[in-house]
Amino acid sequence: EENRSRGKFATVRLDFSDFRPRMRHFPMQNEGVESVDARRMRQALSKSDIPPFNGRDIRQFGFRYRGGNNAFSRNDASRSGWSKFYLALDYIKLYRAQPEPEFIYLSDARIPPVIQDGMVKHDSRRIASSSSELDSTSNVIINEENLKDLTSTKVHRTPEETYFKYQGEEIIKQSGLSYTIIRVSGFNESPSTDSSAVRLQKTNENISPVSRADLSQVIASALLEPNACNLVLYMTKSNQRGVVDGDVFAKFARLRSEKEEDELPPFQ
Phi and psi at residue 187, to the nearest 5°: -130, 155
pLDDT band at 30 (very low <50, low <70, confident <90, very high): low
pLDDT at 150 over 50: no
**Alpha-carbon gap, residue 218 to 210, rounded angstroms:** 11
- Mean predicted confidence (pLDDT) in 213-239: 91
DSSP state of 76: -
User: Which pLDDT score, from 0 to 100, does residue 138 have?
Assistant: 46
pLDDT at 104: 95
Amino acid identity of residue 107, one-letter, is S
The Cα 115–Cα 128 span in angstroms is: 9
Residues 94-106: tens digit of each pLDDT = 776 678 899 999 9
Query: Which pTM was predicted?
Result: 0.61
